[in-house]
Amino acid sequence: MERLCSSPLHANISTALDKHLESIHVVQARRKDETVNPSNRQRHGPPRCQDERVVLALAVALGALCQATRKARTVLWCASQMTLPK
């Protein structure tokens, strides 16, 4: 979009997109933790509260991803409005 308007876009646009990507990576890591734990549970039988902490961490990460996605959509809409010809 920066190429279309021939000038750099606002710094908040790239920041919001970076936070969105970071949120995606966090959710992927939490999901990986969740899928690794059931295999460990069959072998070692960890306490139930640890499983709840893993699920809670995933839920928090998904909430952050939801917020980051909303901001990214808004920022991309603003960027597209700035690049469209008048």
Q: Give the total number of structural domains in the chain.
A: 1
Domain span at 71: 3-83
Q: How many CA atoms, within 13 angstroms, populate the side-chain half-sphere of residue 47?
A: 3
pLDDT, one tens digit for every residue, the chain (86 residues): 665 566 677 888 989 999 999 999 999 999 998 888 655 555 555 555 667 888 899 999 999 999 999 999 999 999 888 887 77
Go through 21-41 and write b for each residue having 16 or more CB atoms within 10 A of its CB, e for each that does not: eebeebbeebeeeeeeeeeee
Q: What is the pLDDT of residue 40?
A: 54
- For residues 20 and 71, give the distance between their C-alpha atoms in angstroms, rounded to a whole number: 8
